[in-house]
Amino acid sequence: LESRRDLQIRYHSLIRDSISERQITPIEMSFDHGYEVVRAYCHSAKAFRSFRLDHVKAIDLCAPSFEVQPYSESDPYSIELRVTDRLRSVMERFRISFDQNRRASAENLIATSFSQDWLMRNALSTLASTEVLAPSEFRSAVARRCQIMLELYGDSSFAVVGE
């Protein structure tokens, strides 16, 4: 950070469950939900990202690339959710602050991330507890993914051996 040099990293993304090579311009070190992260401009994504340090597999110093613009709160992608069950679990999954005084009934929430893939995976993993309300394109994409998964249950190539 002090030298203002870029980094070439090999990074394991839990969102895609893959390892990628990325050139990043580090901006700051911080903690995100108990994990040490480097907030950086990612030249591959052409956007600001946070990288968990425990997911960095290799690192090399590079020459500085250019002056990065300050972080902007308008960059993340947001979805609106209706949570009907397991409120605390859903809020923790989407990294939304949980207040112990919250009521346990249905509630509308806004989940935000730089990664639509991350939001998609979390929406799909909340079982029947969560409904995506908006934006409509994201809601439709979730519905398509759910339909594809349901169709797999009818596909004989996925039958359990012995049935």
Would the pTM of this model clear 0.85, i.e. be above it?
A: no
All residue ranges of the chain with pLDDT < 50 are 68-71, 73-74
Residue pair 20/3 in contact (Cβ under 8 Å)? The answer is no
Q: How far apart are CA 23 and CA 12, in angstroms?
A: 14
111-132, pLDDT tens digit by residue? 888 778 888 888 888 878 889 9
Backbone conformation region of residue 162, classed left if phi is above 0, alpha if psi is from -120 to 50, else beta:
left
